[in-house]
Structure formats: structure tokens, C-alpha cells
Amino acid sequence: MKHFDEFSVNLEQVSPMEKHIRKVIRNWADKDCIPFRRQYDEDWKEHKIIEPAFQKLMVDLGFQKAMFPQELGGWGIGHSDYVFRIAYALSEEVGRADTAIAVAFLVTIWPLTTILVEPHVNWRLAREFAPWYVNAKHPVFSALTMTEPQGGADIENMGLLGGKTLRTTARLEGDEWVINGHKLWPTNSGGVSKLFGVPCTTKPGSHDKNDFAIIFVPTATPGVSEGNPYEKAGMAADKNSDIWFDNVRVPAWYRAHGPGLDAQTFAEIIPWGQVASIGFMTGAMLNLYERLYDFVSTRTYRNRPLKENDAVAGVIGRIAGDIDICRIVGYEAACIGDRRNKAYGKPIHNEEVIGKIRNIKDFVSDKTVENFGRAMDVLGAYGADRDWDIEKHWRDVKIIQLWMGGKQLCQMEAARYFFNCTSI
């Protein structure tokens, strides 16, 4: 049997650290997650069965401290030239086991990228929050609270709207921000997180990027409240809910950076989320390949393995070909992120970088959803059988296609760059 490592990766671009990280996570996936994941759906509310997988990954193996500087007890990955590629490899390896664990884990790092990744390290905030993650005996989660009831796609559409539709407000009173607003859906909401990164506006209705703010809010702060987790089609390891901020007060220096740079780091957060999403999907497809290989090799049709029949070979050949291509372009998306300010010559908040990475995410989403559908066709009734794991990924990857502004925003941002659109 061929190994899923056969799928293409440009070895010249891989960081020396990545090989080790992949090995450690693969071991975690095979021992601590995959054998239990079929029970996760029923555990969506309690997380009793899911919790040990987080404990092992984030605390025992230490991945929740990865992004923090070494001076503060972390692994210093935020200072690495390979940081996007490491995030991609992590997303892929964890996503192979469970894309919801992958998103809950990576979103813990997501808002912190604004203050931990070169060239925008905010040392005062890094020192403030590092002990929470670095010294913890239990998983510590964070959330990035962008989406609001009036629409998440518009909030992420910084290139056109510049934060104009945000209704969550921050008012400076003395040396404190006072925050009011209502957010929906963030990964790790519903009582999971210890820290929120809150995109908000200091002047409602303004599209001036100087009025856009990212403010860190510890969830134990008075005035923060959250709803119960939503019950979704899948992704049980990720809890999502409503969050309300009612005159929530935090120190003024809990703002990520200040006027201008907050909007820029928010625009940079988008490629982070997209590259991780691509990794979740290629990871799920690596697992699709493992399960499909087993199925078409062991099931027979007219006394021959299924894979030796022309009609089946045509389908599985296309699936494997798509996985190979998606991995190549996924890696390229991560490399675009890592080339920021260097060979590529473009900072990652640039419209070209955002448009191209969104385009790759949309492309890989389509291919992933399509290929899980095709695999279901090959497995027939077994495709719907939880024992084969395909239906779990099939439910989960559809959700990945929908988040972060959905297909339309990906298409609009690609069109804006490639066709110089000015009004979308």
C-alpha cells in the first residue's frame, strides 16, 4: 500500500522543523484521536470524550505554547521564516484526524498572530498573556470574534468596506476601552475560551482604517456573556455560540497595536485563516485517500478488487490527482504568506496576497467537497456508514467551505485583484 506522503510537497520549501512536527502529530492522531473520533458527534455539548485529545495535543505535547517567544517560555514559531508553512503542516496533520479539533486548536493561535508574529510583536501583551498558555496544566483556548448578526462576509471584506459595517464599538474612557456589541459563531465560543480577540470600531459607520480596532478581552471580564453551543451538522469538537459585550472594560493597552496597524493586522489574519483552512481540507483528503485505498483494495467486483475496474479507477484516479494538486497549491498559499516582505515583496495584507490566497481556499474547498462526494459514490452504502469515516469528513469539510465569508467573498476578492474591480 502506498503512503499518503506520496502526495507532492516541494521538499526544498519545507522547514527542517516541519518533519519533526508532522511525526509527533501523526503519532497523536493515530493513538489519541482517530480511534475515538466516531464518538465525537454525540459529545458535541459535553466534550468529555473529546477533551483528552486536546489535553494531549495542546498541553502534554505543548503545542499551545508554540507561537510564543522563547524568552516567554514558548517555542518562538512566531519568529520563524517558515511560520505559515508550519501552520499549514499543523493544520494538515491535525485535520487528517479531525478538522474540528484542528480549527479549535489553530483558532487558539489565530488572534494571537496579531501580537506574536514578526514584524508586529507586541511584547507587553505577549508578556501579559504568555503565562496563561505556557504554564497551563489544561488546554487554554482563544477565539477571534469577527462575525456579527448583520453579516460576517462584510466584516472580512476590509478591502472594500474597511470595517464600515462593524457594530461592536470600543469607546476610550480614561485608560480603559469600553466595549459593547454582539458576535456570533466564533470557534471556541460557548464558554470554551479564556481570551477573545475582538475586532470592533471606534467610530461606527466609518471606513477609515484608523477607526478599526482589535482589542483583547479576557472572557472572565464583567459584562462578557455567552450562549450555549449551537448543534451543527458536524465539527463537534468546535463549539460556536453568541457572545455579548455589555459595557466591558479592559485596559487601553489591551488594543493590539493602534490606529492603522490594527486594520493591517486584521487584514493579515485573513490569509492565516485561509491557509489553515486549506490545510484542514488537504489533511481530511489525506485521510480520505487512506480509507478509500483500503476500501477499493479489499472490496471486490466480479472477483477483482474494485480498483481494478475501469469505471472505479477513473474516479479514484481523479480523486488522487486532485489531492496531489490541492496539496501543491496549498503549499504555495503558505509560501505566499511566508514570503511576505521578502522575495514576494508584498506584505500579507496586500490585495494581491489576500485575493490569491482566498482563490486557492475556494478552489481547494470545491475540490474537497467534490471528492468526498465522489468517494461516497464509490463506497455506496458504506459511504454513509460511520465505520468508514468518510461521511464524517463529508459533513465537516462542507462547513469549512462556508466559513470566513463563504464562497462569494473568495470570488469577489479574487475578481477585485485580477479584474481591478472597484465597487465589489
Ligand X SMILES: Cc1cc2nc3c(=O)[nH]c(=O)nc-3n(C[C@H](O)[C@H](O)[C@H](O)COP(=O)(O)OP(=O)(O)OC[C@H]3O[C@@H](n4cnc5c(N)ncnc54)[C@H](O)[C@@H]3O)c2cc1C
How many whole angstroms separate alpha carbon 311 and alpha carbon 326?
23
User: Using the rule CB under 6 A, is 233 a contact of ligand X?
Assistant: no
Minimum CB distance to ligand X smaller for 82 or for 129: 129
CA 326 to chain centre: 17
- Residue 408 in the binding site for ligand X (CB under 6 A): yes
Of 4 and 417, CB closest to ligand X: 417
Q: Which of 311, 349, 143, 173 has the alpha carbon at shortest distance from 247? A: 173
Stretch that binds ligand X, among 287-295, 358-366, 377-385, 401-409 (CB under 6 A): 401-409
| Binding-residue total with ligand X (CB under 6 A) | 26
Render the burial of 367-400: b for 16+ CB within 10 Å, e for the rest.
bbbebbebbbebbeeebeeeebbbbbbbbbbbbb
Residue 38 cell numbers, joined: 466516531
| Residue span binding ligand X (CB under 6 A) among the ranges 145-153, 216-224, 254-262, 334-342 | 145-153
Longest distance between any two alpha carbons in the chain, whole Å: 79
Q: Using the rule CB under 6 A, is 404 a contact of ligand X? A: yes
Which residue stretch of 139-147, 315-323, 336-344, 372-380 sits at the interface with ligand X (rule: CB under 6 A)? 139-147
Q: What is the DSSP letter of 228?
A: P
Residue 269 sits at φ, ψ, to 5 deg, of -65, -30
Do residues 284 and 99 touch, judged by C-beta distance below 8 A? yes
- The site string for ligand X over 11-50 (x = CB under 6 A, - otherwise) reads ----------------------------------------
φ, ψ of residue 400 in degrees (nearest 5): -65, -35
Using rule CB under 6 A, residue 204 touches ligand X = no
The one among 62, 406, 415, 421 contacting ligand X by CB under 6 A = 406
Give the sign of the dihedral formed by CA 373, CA 97, CA 235, CA 112.
negative
Shortest reach from residue 164's CB to ligand X, in Å: 13
397 binding ligand X? (CB under 6 A): no
| Residues between 236 and 265 that touch ligand X (CB under 6 A) | 238, 240
Which window, 212-220, 332-340, 376-384, 406-414, contacts ligand X (CB under 6 A)? 406-414
| Minimum distance from residue 30 beta carbon to ligand X (Å) | 25
Which of these ranges, 83-91, 117-125, 152-160, 277-285, lies near ligand X under the rule CB under 6 A?
A: 152-160
Instruction: In angstroms, give the least distance from the CB of 155 to ligand X.
Output: 8
Q: Helix 16-28 vs helix 83-97: angle between axes, to the nearest 10 degrees?
A: 20
Nearest distance from C-beta of residue 142 to ligand X, angstroms: 10
Nearest CB to ligand X, comparing residues 112 and 399? 399
- Nearest approach in angstroms of CB 33 to ligand X is 18
Contacts of 240 (CB under 8 A, 6+ apart): 184, 185, 186, 187, 189, 190, 229, 230, 232
Using CB under 6 A as the binding rule, whether residue 292 contacts ligand X is answered as no
Extract the C-alpha cell encoding 59. 498541553
Q: C-beta of 103: minimal distance to ligand X in Å?
A: 7
Which runs of E-coded beta strand occur in 295-394? Answer: 300-301, 304-305
Q: How far is the CB of 102 from ligand X (least distance, A)?
A: 11
Residue 291 near residue 389, CB atoms below 8 Å: yes
- Binding range to ligand X, per CB under 6 A, among 36-44, 182-190, 208-216, 254-262: 182-190
Measured from the CB atom, the residue of 80 and 99 that comes closer to ligand X is: 99
Do residues 177 and 302 lie in contact, with contact meaning Cβ atoms separated by under 8 Å?
no
Give residue 36's Cα distance to chain centre: 22
Helices 406-419 and 351-379: crossing angle, nearest 10°?
Answer: 140
Sole binder of ligand X in the list 106, 130, 235, 323 (CB under 6 A): 235
User: Which residue, 16 or 419, is less far from ligand X as judged by CB?
Assistant: 419
Please identify which residue in 80, 142, 187, 274 interacts with ligand X, judged by CB under 6 A.
Answer: 187
The residue behind cell 484521536 is 33
Q: Is there binding between residue 106 and ligand X (CB under 6 A)? A: no
Other C-beta atoms closer than 10 Å to the C-beta of 184 total 18
Cα angle vertex 88, ends 22, 315, to 5°? 90
Q: Is 145 a residue that touches ligand X (CB under 6 A)? A: yes
Site residues, ligand X (CB under 6 A): 107, 143-147, 151-154, 156, 185-187, 235, 238, 240, 399, 402-409
